[in-house]
């Protein structure tokens, strides 16, 4: 079910990949996102290369997408997980390297805590690979009581480099 008659929601999605042609995978995933039914617009941040956090494997390529969507939060989550599978995502163990990881970070002002989805994403304020591209898209964004730029300044040093 979409949001019939309701104004579209602004959602932010984190994208990451550390297997294969990661930048190419993110570009393809962004095109796939933009073409999904219920996605009215899709704007992407620049891409960043970052070392894995709490995981092993090669460096990640990360970005964030801002979506105007008529999909409800769980519908969007289902669509994101289907895209991950189309791009070869496997889940052999927790924090395994991946061809594509899509995380629903924010959906309007919604707060959700369920077995399938927690919004806002519970660890995004700790991750430079989320906050830097999010700041590129929405520099005035406030998470909780703090501006994104203040959250970035408070992060411990994380190895991250803008690549485009």
**Candidate list 32, 98, 127, 136, residue with the active-site label:** 98
Closest CA to 15 of 88, 83, 102, 89: 102
For the question of residue 78 being annotated catalytic, the response is: no
Pick the catalytic residue: 68, 103, 146, 147? 103
CA distance 83 to 69: 16
- Give catalytic status of residue 115 as yes or no: no
For residues 134 and 141, the answer to whether their CB atoms sit within 8 Å is yes
Catalytic one of 89, 91, 115, 136: 89
Catalytic residue among 32, 49, 101, 127: 101
Assess whether 101 carries a catalytic annotation: yes
The residues that are catalytic are: 89, 98, 101, 103
């Amino acid at each position: 079910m979409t949001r019939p008659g309701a104004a579209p929601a602004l959602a932010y999605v984190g994208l990451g990949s550390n297997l294969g042609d990661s930048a190419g995978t993110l570009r393809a995933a962004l095109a796939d996102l933009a073409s999904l039914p219920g996605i009215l617009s899709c704007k992407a941040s620049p891409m960043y290369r970052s070392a894995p956090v709490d995981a092993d494997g090669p460096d990640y390529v990360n970005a964030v997408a801002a979506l105007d969507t008529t999909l409800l939060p769980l519908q969007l989550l289902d669509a994101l997980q289907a895209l991950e599978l189309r791009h070869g995502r496997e889940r052999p163990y927790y924090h395994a390297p991946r061809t594509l990881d899509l995380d629903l970070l924010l959906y309007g002002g919604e707060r959700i805590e369920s077995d399938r989805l927690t919004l806002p994403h519970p660890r995004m304020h700790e991750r430079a690979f989320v906050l830097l591209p999010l700041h590129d898209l929405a520099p005035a964004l406030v998470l909780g009581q703090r501006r994104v730029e203040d959250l970035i300044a408070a992060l411990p040093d994380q190895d991250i480099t803008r690549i485009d």
